[in-house]
Amino acid sequence: MFPPSKKPSKATKRRHAWEVACNGNPRNRRDILIGLGGLYGATTSLTSNNTGSAFGAPLSPPDPTNCVQPDPENDPFCPPPPFKVKDYELPKHHDKTLPLRIRPAAHLVTADYIAKYEEAVRRMKALPPDDPLSFMQQANVHHAYCDGRG
């Protein structure tokens, strides 16, 4: 049907069976690992006085109420002195006469909202570049925090 040079080639999957290079017992890897784990566990638990050679002296945690100034040379684990943490409070609405504005989800905005947004961006771009409310300053803040180069 096909000329000899035009026959489609048969791509065969090569199956490679991993073989152990030595002629040892065909043990399961899991059995060997369990055996080694038991061997190491037995050698560490059967040392003199049953104290174990792999254990060090206990290290007591620092007393955070007794620390004053951290001294890395003498007491590297001493944290700074404790201080009273202020509980977070939600920001207060500054002007009670204005309604509290909540930004809607982008897929739920109306055409009127999009028009107001585009006008706000246009006004931001019209401000001088050194104005903190300008589009350029907002872009600089975004660049500093998102790109990490400032």
**Spatial contact of 28 and 18, defined as CB atoms under 8 Å apart:** no
Can you tell me the distance from the alpha carbon of 47 to that of 84, in angstroms, rounded to the nearest whole number? 49
**Spatial contact of 132 and 140, defined as CB atoms under 8 Å apart:** no
State pLDDT tens for residues 6-53.
666 666 666 666 565 555 555 566 677 666 666 666 666 665 555 545
DSSP 46-61: TSGGGT-TT-----PP
| 3-state secondary structure at position 16 | coil
> Burial of 84 by CB count in 10 Å (0-12 exposed, 13-18 middle, 19+ buried)?
exposed
| pLDDT at site 76 | 57
Q: What does pTM read for this prediction?
A: 0.34
Running DSSP on this structure, what letter comes out for residue 85? P
Query: What percent of the chain shows pLDDT beyond 70?
Result: 44
More confident: 64 or 97 = 97
CA 5 to chain centre: 57
Enumerate residues 6+ apart whose C-beta is below 8 A from 80: 67, 70
Domain range annotation of the chain: 106-146
